[in-house]
Amino acid sequence: MDQLNMLRSSMKENGMEAVFVSNPVNRFYLSGFTGTSGYVLITESEKIFITDFRYKDQAAQQCEGFEIKVHNNEQKVNDILNAYNYQTMGYENEFITVYAFEDMIKSLDQTILIPLGKTIENIRQVKTEEEISKMKVAAQIADNAFEHIVKWIKPGKTEREVALELEFFMKQKGASKLSFETIVASGWRSALPHGVATEKVIEAGDFVTLDFGCVYDGYCSDMTRTLVMGKATEEQKKIYNIVLEAQLKTQEAVCAGKSCKEIDTVARTIIEEAGYGPQFGHGTGHAIGLELHEYPRLSQQDETILVENHMVTNEPGIYIPEFGGVRIEDLLRVKTDGYESLTKSPKTLIEIM
């Protein structure tokens, strides 16, 4: 498993005999365990999974090649760790609570605890072919949901009804859950970048921004499209076309070897030159995988160099208070010679007549 080999290489470089993983996302990444209680312990030669009685059978089935250890009221997790007598052990300092950390210090008084920082998250940045195939399924489910909702939505529906229809459809098609709470923002609310669905009634003439995604076998999709209910006004067409140009030009710029800041600058320059810079207040995109928002980020603050099989979103937008907003978002696989879009839905302005 490449992930474990990379983690073990980092352990060796940083003088760690073992790594203790408690973050559920990283736990799943390393072991495949989908339950809600468990810990991963990795050494140079061992893979150990620690859980309680409720999950011992599930762990035995899902955690291939792992030795399963069961903790109970008498033998706590730290007691199991202490029995191995490691001199050094990495821990997830960006996840563990202060209470749990203080308990570890007290219990493992012979072990030097070394903070992992984002070691595992950095390994997760570059996706394997297996991970990408799962994300492609999640993206296809979202595409199918968009095709469905375009035929279903009409004035008089509430935002919440639209969100529920999207959720029901995606779960029918194999999604385990939503990637995030679905955004359905209509009319003036489309100027809210994270305007989650409300009981507002969708009206003729509204912009309607749909930002949604699903999880398939642990991996997320994320897409956004903006519709117009009825015939678009000239001002609506103008704003939409500026965002579309920024999104398409940014897409063309994506490839391995470019920095996240460089990619963000493409979209930002187009929108600023059109006179709407202050109305584009977020980054152009973010990495995605087991979590909706991963690193790196396509923003002016991130100079990470993109590499092949980074998975990122491309989602510029313009948001005008009391008028409305437009965002268009695709999910992209970074390649050495460009990109592959996992999102296939059309991006030309759709008018719901």
Q: pLDDT for 84-119, tens place per residue? A: 999 999 999 999 999 999 999 999 999 999 999 999
CA distance 220 to 138: 6
CB neighbourhood size of 268 (10 A): 21
Q: 116-148 as b/e, with b when 16 or more CB fall inside 10 Å?
A: beebbbbbbbbbeeebbebbbbbbbbbbbbbeb
CA distance 233 to 14: 60
pLDDT at 275: 98
What would you report as the CA-atom Rg of the chain, rounded to the nearest whole angstrom? 23
240-249: average pLDDT: 98
pLDDT at 73: 74
pLDDT digit string (tens) for 200-232?
999 999 999 999 999 999 999 999 999 999 999
CB neighbourhood size of 235 (10 A): 11
pLDDT band at 1 (very low <50, low <70, confident <90, very high): low
285-295: average pLDDT: 98
138-165: average pLDDT: 98
pLDDT band at 298 (very low <50, low <70, confident <90, very high): very high
Residue labelled with tokens 């995605």:
288
Residue among 334, 226, 346 nearest 287 (CA): 334
pLDDT at 75: 78
pLDDT at 191: 98
252-271: average pLDDT: 98
Mean pLDDT of the chain: 97
Domains of the chain as residue ranges with CATH: 2-123 (3.40.350.10), 129-352 (3.90.230.10)
CA distance 186 to 226: 9
